[in-house]
Amino acid sequence: MALKKSILWFKRDLRLSDNPALVAAAQSGEVLPVYIVEPLSSSEFERGSASKIWLYHSLKSLNSTLNNHLNIYTGDPVKILLDLTQKHQIETIFWNTCYEPWSRENEKRLIENLKSQSVSYDFFNGTYLWKPKEIKKNDGTPYKVFSAYKREAWRLSPREPLEIPGTLSLIKDTDNQTTVEHLKPDPVPAWSKKITSFWDFGESAAQKKLKDFTQKGLQNYKKGRDFPDHNNTSCLSPHLHFGEISPHQIREALKSAKESDTPKEDLHHFFSEITWREFSCYLLYHFNGLPSDNFQSKFNHFPWEENPAFLKAWQTGMTGIPFVDAGMRELWQTGYMHNRVRMIVASFLTKNLLIHWHKGRDHFWDCLVDADLANNSASWQWVAGCGADAAPYFRIFNPVTQGEKFDPEGNYTRKFVPELKNLPNKYLFKPWEAPEKILEKSDIVLGKTYPKPIVDLKKSREKALSAFQFLKNNPLDS
């Protein structure tokens, strides 16, 4: 008797372990594993340069674990899947759902077509701990405040991680000529080599990083996570985004860490960060305009400024503000930026420079290996003050005092701004205050070897406060 055939549609779940759709497909019979590079309806959110690099290497790793049986296609996923269903006499299509607006639309179209053709389907939650639609306030409306959402979410018990199926019978579409190599970025960005030397890709790398973090970085996480030269950040975000690891697996690792006497405050603080990722997806699910529309409509009237020169200086790490420049250069060199520094550079752009958060959103989208529509959108709106449960309008990070507090020895800043490596700590974060003799001794000529500040921090802060105060006093509707 011939085995039933199914399609496993890989999306943001590029792993074999804890993959509900994979488990269901394996139990049904033979499996045609498929990954589809789908064109987006809006070029605004086409996959960024750094994400393309990660995706290519992640798919290479996944294909290897599948013994080169991963089938790659490009185009409309609904048409491709329907064609494959006919060609291979597929009885069921399995996938783990995604919550970006275009993904939800494609899944909806697929289901409608499958129903009309009497082809069965099943989809699962393999990407988040909680389904966005299952958490609501008593009146049925979605939460807009993180702390309230977290309290409700933490009352629910997510499922346990799943093992890799013991038997996996895979089908290869021998007529398909597209391979993973066709997804290799061309031309390869100049900074690709730096990214690939900084990261390891794939499921095994993600599991190793989780193990290393729980053993070495989780201790003192609550305090140490704010210091960019400490090893107290997990760097799991790109692995999570591409689904090389699941939040369920991370939660399980935290349970094990609890048994090994890891301080409760460190465990809770890290799990709270995982929950913020869930909350961002939750907001995107309930408020589809999150990537583009101000969550607080009064910001539709905010007096943002157009300043291409300032924006370019910020993007290239040449603002003359060392802690900001260090963060922007870390982003360019590694495709990543420490979370504390992300808040500082975002605050500088939106408040000291008064440049629209869209500009920052777009740059991060292109340069971050962990670029995620929900996280990127929610976090930029939070810093800019226009998001859900946002930072108050008067919270403007001072990059000088932030550097002095969270990079006290200057290790992080000197690593990414080597022009200032000889400058004493006293002046490292404010070289414009250094006496001429100190600058000369440190081989620094402001305006030549390192930029002068593009704005005065005190005056730009006062200007931002005036703009926000005007908005507060004139609450116009959109």
1: its two tokens: 């008797």
Q: Tokens 């939750």 map to which residue? A: 282
Which is the catalytic residue, given 113, 339, 422, 425?
Answer: 339
296: its two tokens: 């607080």
16: its two tokens: 């074999």
Which is the catalytic residue, given 102, 273, 422, 432?
Answer: 273
Q: Is 68 a catalytic residue?
A: no
Rounded CA-CA distance 159/96 in Å is 15
Pairing status of strand 71-74 against strand 30-37: parallel
Q: Are 13 and 21 in contact (CB under 8 A)?
A: yes
Which is the catalytic residue, given 102, 154, 276, 432?
Answer: 276
Transcribe 348-398 into DSSP letters: IIIIIS---HHHHHHHHHHH-TT--HHHHHHHHHHHHT-STTPPPTT----
Question: What strands, in cross-sheet order, belong to the sheet with 71-74?
Answer: 71-74, 30-37, 5-10, 92-96, 120-124
Helices (H), 66-100: 77-87
> Quick one: which of 107, 158, 90, 171 has its CA closest to 130?
158
> Quick one: which of 223, 146, 151 has its CA closest to 381?
146
* CA quadruple 191, 194, 196, 200: dihedral sign: negative
Rounded CA-CA distance 284/379 in Å is 12
Rounded CA-CA distance 369/253 in Å is 23
Q: What are phi and psi of 14, to 5 degrees?
A: -80, 65
In DSSP terms, 71 is beta-bridged to 34
> Quick one: which of 162, 165, 160 has its CA closest to 25?
165
Helices (H), 234-321: 237-241, 247-259, 264-286, 308-315
Q: Is 138 a catalytic residue?
A: no
Rounded CA-CA distance 473/270 in Å is 38
Which is the catalytic residue, given 102, 191, 304, 432?
Answer: 304
Q: Is 380 a catalytic residue?
A: yes
Which is the catalytic residue, given 380, 382, 398, 419?
Answer: 380
Q: Is 339 a catalytic residue?
A: yes
What is the signed CA dihedral for 288, 246, 220, 401, rounded to 10 degrees?
-30
Which is the catalytic residue, given 357, 365, 375, 419?
Answer: 357
Q: Are 281 and 128 in contact (CB under 8 A)?
A: yes
Supply the residues annotated as catalytic: 273, 276, 304, 339, 357, 380
